[in-house]
Amino acid sequence: MGIQPELRLQMYETMLRIRRFEEETAALFAAGDLPGFVHLSIGQEAVPTGICAALDPADTITATHRGHGHILAKGADMGRMMAELMGKRTGYCAGKGGSMHISSLDLGVLGANGILGAGQPIAVGAALSARLLGEERISVTFFGEGASAQGGVHEAMNLAAVWKLPVVFVAEINGWAELSPYSDHVSVPSLVDRAAGYGIDAASVDGTDVEAVLDGAREAVERCRSGEGPVLLEARTQRWHGHFEGDRQLYRPEGEVAALPELYDPLVLQSDRLLELGIASEAELDAIERRVAEEVAEAVLFGRNSPESAPEDALLHVYSTDGRGGAA
Alpha-carbon torsion, ordered 75, 301, 29, 35, to 10 deg:
-90
Among residues 3 and 181, whose Cβ is nearest to ligand TPP? 181
Query: What kind and span of H or E run contains 311?
Result: none
The answer to whether 147 contacts ligand TPP (rule: CB under 6 A) is yes
Which ranges in 148-281 belong to alpha helices (H)? 151-162, 182-185, 195-198, 210-225, 256-263, 266-276
The answer to whether 145 contacts ligand TPP (rule: CB under 6 A) is yes
Q: Which residues contact 140 (CB under 8 A, 6 or more apart)?
A: 51, 55, 59, 60, 61, 62, 123, 167, 168, 170
Binding mask 79-118 for ligand TPP (x = CB under 6 A): -----------------------------------xxxx-
**What is the rounded distance in angstroms from the CA atom of residue 82 to the CA atom of residue 91?**
7
Taking CB under 6 A as the criterion, the residue among 25, 49, 62, 174 binding ligand TPP is: 174
For the bound state, the minimum distance from the C-beta of residue 240 to ligand TPP, rounded and expressed in Å, comes to 12
The answer to whether 65 contacts ligand TPP (rule: CB under 6 A) is yes
The answer to whether 181 contacts ligand TPP (rule: CB under 6 A) is no
The answer to whether 245 contacts ligand TPP (rule: CB under 6 A) is no
Among residues 64 and 90, whose Cβ is nearest to ligand TPP? 64
For the bound state, the minimum distance from the C-beta of residue 293 to ligand TPP, rounded and expressed in Å, comes to 26
**What is the rounded distance in angstroms from the CA atom of residue 210 to the CA atom of residue 198?**
27
The answer to whether 259 contacts ligand TPP (rule: CB under 6 A) is no
Q: Is there a contact between 290 and 35 (Cβ–Cβ < 8 Å)? A: no
Among residues 70 and 80, whose Cβ is nearest to ligand TPP? 70
**What is the rounded distance in angstroms from the CA atom of residue 91 to the CA atom of residue 106?**
14
Among residues 116 and 205, whose Cβ is nearest to ligand TPP? 116
Among residues 118 and 300, whose Cβ is nearest to ligand TPP? 118
| Signed CA dihedral, 168, 64, 70, 189: sign only | negative
Among residues 56 and 178, whose Cβ is nearest to ligand TPP? 178
Q: Give me the residues that bind ligand TPP (CB under 6 A), please.
A: 64-66, 114-117, 143-147, 174, 176-178, 243
